[in-house]
Structure 1
Amino acid sequence: MGYDALLWLSFGGPEGPDDVMPFLENVTRGRGVPRERLAEVAEHYQHFGGVSPINALNRNAIAAVEKELAAQGIDLPVYFGNRNWDPMVERTVAAMAADGVRRALVFPTSAYGGYSACRQYDEDIVRARAAVGAGAPDLVKLRQFFDHPLFIGAIADAVRVAHAEVGVESGARTVFVAHSIPESADLASGPPEEGGRRYSEQIAEAARLVAAETGIETYDVVWQSRSGPPQVPWLEPDIVDHIDALHARGVPAVVVCPVGFVSDHLEVIWDLDNEAAERAGELGMGFARAATAGTDPRFAELVVELVREHVADAPARKLSEFPAAGCTLNGEPCAPGCCEPAKRPTRA
C-alpha cells in the first residue's frame, strides 16, 4: 500500500515568553507537578527569551528532508506536528485528512526506545487520530534509529570536532550524555525473548558505536535533566556530579556528547552549555560540547532512508544486534509490553 505524506512528530517548545508556562503545563498535564517547580523550569526558558530552539531546528530539518526526498524522486509532502505546542499534532492530522491524506509515515524525533522516547509518540498518534475521527489517515511510525550508520557517523564527526576544539593533546575525557529517566521507567523496548533492550542499554550501545568509530577506548555514559521528587531513584550519575568526580581524579578536560538527543533543544543548551560548562570552568577544566546530529546533512539522508524502507523496500541498515523496534501502525505497540510507562508507587 502506498503513502501520501510524511508526518514529522516532535515534542514542541515555546516561541515567546508568554508561551512558556502554558507549554510547561501541557508537558506536565496529569502529573501533579507543583506550580513552583514549573516556575523554576520556566526561568531556564526565560534565560533564552522564552524561546526554545526546537521548533526552528525542526523546521530547518524538515526543509532538508523535503530537499532530500525531491532529490531521490520521492513525492511525499511533509507535515509538522508537536505533542506539547503549536503546531499541535491533532490539528496537523486534521489538516492532513482535509488534504486527502489517507496513509502517512510518521518520523518521531527520537532515536531510542523507552516510554517518553517511543511509546508516548504512539499515544500522540492515537490521540490525534481520535480527535479527527473516522476520516483520520492511517499513520505508520518509523522505527528507532540509534544504531543507524548515518546517525552514528554524524555524532562521531561531532565528537572529533569537539576534541579538536578543546585540544587533542588536552587529555580530555569523552563523556556521553542522555536524558535521565526514573529507574522504574528503564524497561525493555519489547520482550527479552524477542531481543528487547532497555533505554539505558540502547544509550550505552550508541555510545559504544560512536567510540568505536572515533577510536576512543575509554569513555563514560552519564545522565542529565533529572526531575521529580528526590526520593524517586533516577539513572545516575548526573553530568555535573560526574564533572566533579573527573576533576577529583585529575582529569584536565572533558568533551561532552549529547548522544541521547537529536537536536539542541533547551535542556541541551541549559544543562550542558550552561550548567556543565560553567562547572568545568569553575574547576579550571577544559570543556567542549559535541553538536547533535540533527543539523548534519546526513540526518536528512537518514530520515529518507527510513522512509525508503517502507516505500521502496530498502534494507534496514543498523550497526548493532539490537532489534529494529518502534515501527507501529496507528499507535499500536510494536510488541507486548513495549516501552511501558513507569509504575507509580502506590500509597499505603
Structure 2
Amino acid sequence: MSGQRDTEFDALLVLSFGGPEKPEDVRPFLGNVTRGRGVPPERLDAVAEHYMHFGGVSPINALNRDIIERVEAELRGAGIDLPVYFGNRNWHPMVEDTVARMRDDGVRNALVFPTSAWGGYSGCRQYDEDISRARAAAGEDAPTLSKLRQYYDHPLMIAAFADAIRAAREQLPEEVRDRARLVFTAHSVPLAADAKAGPPAAGGNLYSRQVADASRLCAEAAGVDDFDLVWQSRSGPPQVPWLEPDICDHLDTVAAAGAPAVIVCPVGFVSDHLEVVWDLDTEARDKAAELGIGFVRVATPGTDPRFAQMIRSLVEERRDGAGPARLGREPLLGATVDGLPCAVDCCAPARRPGAR
C-alpha cells in the first residue's frame, strides 16, 4: 500500500482453512491442501472418501458463516462499525479474492481473525503467509492486514469448553459419570515441526505446550482433577514421528484401565471440522463401541455465543491497546501487521505430508 497508513481499523477478515461444499469440490480442494507435498493419489482417495461419507460437504464453511453472523451482531451491539469479510486458504471464498474485494470496497486497514488459536507453523505462521500472498495478489492498493493474537487461553473460550465438558458428562448414564475418563485431543503434527513452534527464546514446542495448557485450564474449570491429552488426524509416512498417542490407540489404554466411558474434548478445534466429525464422531466412536466403553464427544465452542463475544473482545483489545484477557502460562504470539512473522525464525515451516 502506498502513502500514509490509516491508524483506525475499518474491517475484520475471518481467515480460515476452507472446505468443499459439494462432491465435485472434494478432489480440487484436496489438491489445494496438498500442493507441493508429493502426497500419493491413493492417500487423497482415502481422504476423499471421508468427505463423501458426508455428501462431499465439509461443515467448516457453514460453521464459519454462522460465526461471522454472530460476530457481526456482537460488533453492532457494541457500537463497532466494522464490516466482516470471509476468506479461506484452500477453498472458496479464497482469501486472495476476498482481499481484492476488500481493496475494491475501499478497506484500508483491516484486522484478521484466524480460526486457529495456536502457535506453530500450521496454526499461526501459515496464516501470516496467507495474508502476505493475498496482499501481493491485490497489488499496491491492498489494505493493511493486522492479524489478531493467539487466543488459546481466552477466558471466554475456556468457559465455553468447560460448560461443554459438563454437558457431555451429563449425557452418560448416571452410574458411569464419575468414572468416565476425560481425554483432550488436538491435531497432531510432526515432532520436528512442533520443535520449531515458537521463536528460539520461547524454547520451542509452543504448539504442544499451549494445547497442554488449554487442556489443564479446561479441566480445572470443569472441576476435573485428572485427564489425558492425546492427538489425532496424523498423516504421512509411518517412519516420520508425530505427536502421540493417537486417540484411537489411547482408547485401548482407557479400556484396559477399567474406565467404563470416555469424554472426548476436541480442545484443538474451534468448530466441528471434518477431523472432528470423522476422526472422533466416526472412527473414535466406533473404536469405543468395539471396546465396550461409553463414548461422548464434547461440543466445540464455535457455536457458543461466547466465541463471538471473544472475537469482539480481541478486536477491542487490539483497537484500544488493552492488555490480553488470558488465563494461561505459555507465551502468546501471533499478532502481526501485513503478515510479517511476529518473531525472527518463529515457527519455521516443515514439510508435512498428508491432507485435512
| TM bucket normalised to smaller | over 0.9
What residue number does 1:227 align with?
235
Q: How does 1:1-348 map to 2 (within 5 A)?
A: 1-167=7-173, 169-170=175-176, 171-187=179-195, 189-194=197-202, 198-342=206-350
Q: Distance in 2 between matches of 1:34 and 1:278?
A: 27
Contact kept, 8 Å, 2:15 with 2:89, in 1: the verdict is yes
From the superposition, tell whether residues 118 and 32 of structure 1 become closer, same or farther in structure 2 (CA, over 3 Å): same
From the superposition, tell whether residues 344 and 294 of structure 1 become closer, same or farther in structure 2 (CA, over 3 Å): closer
Once the 2 structures are TM-superposed, how far is the Cα of residue 312 of structure 1 from its aligned partner? 2.4
Output one character per residue of 1:113-151: Cα deviation in whole Å (capped at 9) or x when no partner.
Answer: 111110100000010001011011000000000011001
Contact kept, 8 Å, 1:195 with 1:323, in 2: the verdict is no
Q: Distance in 1 between matches of 2:92 and 2:143?
A: 20
Q: Which amino acid aligns with 2:226?
A: T
From the superposition, tell whether residues 33 and 344 of structure 1 become closer, same or farther in structure 2 (CA, over 3 Å): closer
Contact kept, 8 Å, 2:190 with 2:352, in 1: the verdict is no
Q: How many residues align?
A: 345
Contact kept, 8 Å, 1:143 with 1:326, in 2: the verdict is yes
Output one character per residue of 1:210-254: Cα deviation in whole Å (capped at 9) or x when no partner.
Answer: 111111111000000010011100100000000011111211100
Q: Distance in 2 between matches of 1:186 and 1:167?
A: 38
Q: Distance in 2 between matches of 1:300 and 1:343?
A: 33
Q: Distance in 2 between matches of 1:228 and 1:335?
A: 29
Output one character per residue of 1:172-198: Cα deviation in whole Å (capped at 9) or x when no partner.
Answer: 000000000000100354335357652
Contact kept, 8 Å, 1:14 with 1:85, in 2: the verdict is yes
Once the 2 structures are TM-superposed, how far is the Cα of residue 310 of structure 1 from its aligned partner? 1.8
Once the 2 structures are TM-superposed, how far is the Cα of residue 70 of structure 1 from its aligned partner? 0.2
**313-322 vs 77-86, which deviates more?**
313-322
Output one character per residue of 1:262-292: Cα deviation in whole Å (capped at 9) or x when no partner.
Answer: 1001111000000000111111101100000
Q: Distance in 1 between matches of 2:151 and 2:175?
A: 33
Once the 2 structures are TM-superposed, how far is the Cα of residue 324 of structure 1 from its aligned partner? 2.4
Once the 2 structures are TM-superposed, how far is the Cα of residue 56 of structure 1 from its aligned partner? 0.2
From the superposition, tell whether residues 6 and 128 of structure 1 become closer, same or farther in structure 2 (CA, over 3 Å): same
Contact kept, 8 Å, 2:265 with 2:297, in 1: the verdict is yes
Q: Distance in 2 between matches of 1:24 and 1:194?
A: 33
Q: Which amino acid aligns with 2:25?
A: D
Once the 2 structures are TM-superposed, how far is the Cα of residue 309 of structure 1 from its aligned partner? 1.1
Q: Could you tell me the TM-score, scaled by structure 1's length?
A: 0.96
Q: Distance in 1 between matches of 2:342 and 2:286?
A: 42
Q: Which amino acid aligns with 2:254?
A: L
Q: Distance in 2 between matches of 1:309 and 1:343?
A: 34
Once the 2 structures are TM-superposed, how far is the Cα of residue 343 of structure 1 from its aligned partner? 6.0
Once the 2 structures are TM-superposed, how far is the Cα of residue 169 of structure 1 from its aligned partner? 3.9
Question: Structure 2, unaligned stretches of length 5 or more?
Answer: 1-6
Q: Distance in 2 between matches of 1:270 and 1:189?
A: 27
Contact kept, 8 Å, 2:15 with 2:95, in 1: the verdict is yes
Aligned to 1:178, what secondary structure does the other structure show? strand
Contact kept, 8 Å, 2:194 with 2:205, in 1: the verdict is no
Aligned to 2:195, what secondary structure does the other structure show? coil
Identity of aligned residues (%): 66
Q: Distance in 1 between matches of 2:205 and 2:231?
A: 18
Q: Which amino acid aligns with 1:198?
A: L
Q: Which amino acid aligns with 1:4?
A: D
Once the 2 structures are TM-superposed, how far is the Cα of residue 167 of structure 1 from its aligned partner? 3.5
Contact kept, 8 Å, 1:173 with 1:253, in 2: the verdict is yes
Give the superposed CA RMSD: 1.4
Output one character per residue of 1:282-330: Cα deviation in whole Å (capped at 9) or x when no partner.
Answer: 1110110000010100000000000001222333100012222100111
Once the 2 structures are TM-superposed, how far is the Cα of residue 341 of structure 1 from its aligned partner? 1.6
Aligned to 1:186, what secondary structure does the other structure show? helix
From the superposition, tell whether residues 322 and 333 of structure 1 become closer, same or farther in structure 2 (CA, over 3 Å): same
Once the 2 structures are TM-superposed, how far is the Cα of residue 12 of structure 1 from its aligned partner? 0.2
Q: Could you tell me the TM-score, scaled by structure 2's length?
A: 0.94
Once the 2 structures are TM-superposed, how far is the Cα of residue 63 of structure 1 from its aligned partner? 0.1
Once the 2 structures are TM-superposed, how far is the Cα of residue 209 of structure 1 from its aligned partner? 0.3
